[in-house]
Amino acid sequence: MAGIHTLVRLPVFRMEEDVLRSGKMARRPEKTVAAAGQGRHVTVLPWAIMVTDRFMARRVGHGLHSNGHDRGFRMNATGTDTGMNGTGRAEASAVMFRAEGITRVYRMGEVEVHALRGIDLELHPGEFVVILGPSGCGKSTLLNILGGLDVPTAGRVWYNGQDLTHADDGTLTQFRRDNVGFVFQFYNLIPSLTARENVAIVTEIARHPMRPEDALALVGLDGRLNHFPAQMSGGEQQRVAIARAIAKQPAVLLCDEPTGALDSATGVRVLTALDEVNASLGTCTVVITHNADIARMAHRVLTMGDGRIVDVKINEHRLKADELRW
């Protein structure tokens, strides 16, 4: 085969793992992730996976089974607190995610760590939700459960009426592939692929993807299509990660500290991209952060502490991302 042959170690935040699990990838890995038009051929091998995100590292490090739960934040699943802020963008009857009494307990030998302690929650189509809280309060655990990366120890989770609580790995893989986009603090881009090619990995397996060029244009990177990660700033790399997450046109975008590794000016540009995605595509967007200033751009703010939701706030007046300062 002509061209430079590159072995890529995919950073696993489950999007790439889903690529590996697809039948198309299993049969023809070289076609799925070929670096089109660049004279380079990329092969992804299942045994070459590196586990990099915090949640997976914790599970592997402690030998945790996937059948566990966290309890995090609690709010009235049917009351007015779960509604939107009067803009009419979503009605109380339109529920995308519903969680009831979910807990998550990690067992490490004889020690039990209660990450979530009984959460009731609803998320609605088109809303922008910020989940605030210090490290260790259960934010990431909650996000992992909503995204199908983990399951609760107790309680139940539904997505558009589908019960995910006892779903098997195959069902959760399909759920993630078809419905969820993930953005993490660290960009997890493949260094040997351009921005366009990093996004194209997702479009190869998505049912109704947008063109990689369109996804990158939506986050303001239409002029950086053929640049490699090393040729881009941290903020640009994070926007490539956002473009990759939205290229399959997911119904929900889950973001774990997306500005955590960035300075404030760069972080504002990333948040502007997320806000644009939320407004133009109607994607339900959930951002977890410890930065209280970011909460001012949300429709709804959930504050977590010790595995519980301790406060719920609706922003009557949302700020634009470029109005934020921290």
Q: Which whole-number Å values give the CA distances from 122 to 60, 159, 165, in the listed order?
A: 30, 10, 15
Q: Which residue has the higher pLDDT, 6 or 200?
A: 200
Q: Torsion angle of alpha carbons 217, 211, 278, 19, nearest 10°?
A: -120
The type of residue at 35 is A
E strand or H helix that includes residue 289: strand 284-289
Residues 315, 326: Cα–Cα separation, whole Å: 18
Confidence of residue 94 (pLDDT cuts 50, 70, 90): confident
What DSSP character marks residue 74? Answer: -
Q: Where are the domains of the chain?
A: 4-323
How crowded is the C-beta side of 54, counted as CA atoms within 13 Å? Answer: 15
Contact 89, 95 (CB under 8 A): no
Cβ partners under 8 Å of residue 274, min gap 6:
128, 183, 242, 253, 255, 258, 285, 287, 321
Residues 121, 73: Cα–Cα separation, whole Å: 8
pLDDT for 205:
84
- The answer on pLDDT for 30 being more than 50 is no
What is the chain's Cα-based Rg?
A: 19
For domain 4-323, give the CATH superfamily: P-loop containing nucleotide triphosphate hydrolases (3.40.50.300)
Residues written for the chain = 326
Span 111-134, pLDDT tens digits:
999 999 999 999 999 999 999 999
Q: Is the pTM for the entire model greater than 0.85?
A: no
Burial (CB < 10 A; 0-12, 13-18, 19+), residue 261, is middle
Span 130-184, pLDDT tens digits:
999 999 999 999 999 999 999 999 999 999 999 999 899 999 999 999 999 999 9
Closest to 313 measured CA to CA, from 145, 83, 78: 83
Closest to 4 measured CA to CA, from 192, 202, 230: 192
